[in-house]
Amino acid sequence: MLPWVKLDEATMPGGGVLRLMQRGAEFSIMSGTTELMNSRLSGSEEQLATLSAARLAGRAKPRILIGGLGMGFTLRAALQSFPAGSEIVVAELVPEVVAWARGPLNAIHGTSLDDDSVTLHQGDVATAITSGKPFDAILLDVDNGPDGLSRPANDRLYSTAGLATAKAALTSGGHLAVWSSAPDAKFTKRLKQSGMTVEEIGVRATRSGRGARHTIWFATKACLPKVAPVSGQRHASKQKAKANGANLKDRDSL
């Protein structure tokens, strides 16, 4: 078997080291001894985008925020799944990850970062959530689950306050989607306490539907009801309309 070869490494702001590894035609991004992503396992990351697009069907030009570029699986699936005219913002904290996309991982990423609908936010996704709102969907795949595994500061994204911030950044009926390598009952409970409608879905790691089962949470913000005028307002509107009609008749008689 071919040995793994380290191509590069990057120190993340706030702690932690990412390593880009290669074995033949296979690539892996590691955090310590934990594999964050592998070029052979793209299925669940792609479904993060495809399932999101299905939930937004009917919206002509949705605005999407993808947290974490990684190997670009979610971005490429988003470009294929969302309608033309969509706006996709990709937030990536680590500059080297963007450099890898244009360098050793270019064959995987292709020209996705150069698509006219894509804007790269090179910085913290938490900043992108607040500065770029509103979004119709926020897709988070910045850790192996709802905790700051790769970067402790990411814990705030999954906290009660972080979920409230994400909810506030969503349009009516929009959703927050979080990818995880495993279920997390405490996070599910926290999501439900946010006041959003929560769905937890098990997805396979590979396109073939085999391999490890991963988890995606979809938390949907309630649609704002259409506000009808109160009875007094309706009555006043009718009276005003009648008065306008009478004025027109008076003018006609002149």
pLDDT in tens, 133-146: 999 999 999 887 88
In sequence order, the 6+-apart residues with CB closer than 8 A to the CB of 86 are 61, 62, 63, 64, 78, 117
Q: Supply 6's token pair.
A: 């380290």
pTM score, whole prediction: 0.86
Confidence at residue 252, expressed as pLDDT on a 0 to 100 scale? 47
Confidence at residue 45, expressed as pLDDT on a 0 to 100 scale? 96
244 has a pLDDT exceeding 70: no
